Amino acid sequence: MTTLRIATRKSPLALWQSEHVADRLRATHPGLTVTLVPMSTRGDEVLDRSLAAIGGKGLFLKELELAMLRGEADCAVHSLKDVPMELEPGFALPAILARADYADAFVSNHFADIAALPQGARVGTSSLRRQAQLRALRPDLQLLDLRGNVNTRLGKLDGGEYDAIVLACAGLERLGFDDRIRSRLQAPQWLPAPAQGAVAIECRDDDVATRELCALLDDSGTRVCAEAERAMNRTLHGSCHVPVAAYAQLDGKHLYLAGLVGSAADGRVVRAQAQGRGDAPECLGLEVAQMLLAQGAGEFIAAS
């Protein structure tokens, strides 16, 4: 294989991630020509409703997967947190790159952190996970929907539509907006989306040549942590309809996983954490999910 075509969404962040993967592939495979195939997805086009209302995060993948099936692209690059817990049949993730900053970012032009917000302040986020944790901390806040790419969301904040917004640190840092981060919302008090901060490459399961090319970019430590977080979410039947958060850390042979399920309506949350073996991440994900269910997480999931 001398040319590799990467299907990608057209947002600035998606293009940055795909160019980053392309650069890594060129460096790893001298002589390989890597080109981008930018595409628009339904998740990008419908911005007047939440992801949960229009079908979930899988909307960001569907058109890219169809392009691979039609032979118009060899692989696709995604934020792993946007990849459904169960891939469509016939697809694989040959590489999960080293994770960037996992944390969420509190972004505001006037306030330093969540505690500094005045009563009834307007905070923008369409993520049910972020809404649940915000309500748990500050039930007085007005939580307002916020869709669009990173630049659009920052523009709405700067236009005065919100007093603060919550975004992923990794996305802001990748686009050069590090200075917009007023405070990091981090573990153990605040948990991210499963696999937040990690970029994954998807290709057809039967495309051995592409799988082998991409596999050299795989980061084993990030994959272990992502597999634990995603296994927990999968066991809970989590989706963008359910406020689920998870964060795993690998320390030698030991793997630690913290999980949370909450209610975006009233801010009630249940938490669990456990330690397991680094070579059995799915077992740890299952264990933490069962601990959450034992504490009543099923009620929040059923209500979603």
**pLDDT in the model for residue 36:** 98
Candidates 44, 74, 82, 101; catalytic one:
82
> What does the alpha-carbon distance between residue 5 and residue 51 come to, in Å, rounded to a whole number?
28
Does residue 82 have an active-site annotation?
yes
pLDDT in single tens digits along all 304 residues of the chain:
789 999 999 999 999 999 999 999 999 999 999 999 999 876 555 545 544 554 455 677 889 999 999 999 999 999 999 999 899 999 999 999 999 999 999 999 999 999 999 999 999 999 999 999 999 999 999 999 998 899 999 999 999 999 999 999 999 999 999 999 999 999 999 999 999 999 999 999 999 999 999 999 999 999 999 999 999 999 998 656 789 999 999 999 999 999 999 999 999 999 999 999 999 999 999 999 999 999 999 988 887 6
Runs of H (alpha helix) within the chain: 12-28, 42-45, 51-54, 59-69, 128-137, 150-158, 169-174, 208-215, 220-235, 281-294, 297-303
What separation in angstroms does the CA of 208 have from each of 1, 58, 199, 204? 11, 24, 20, 8
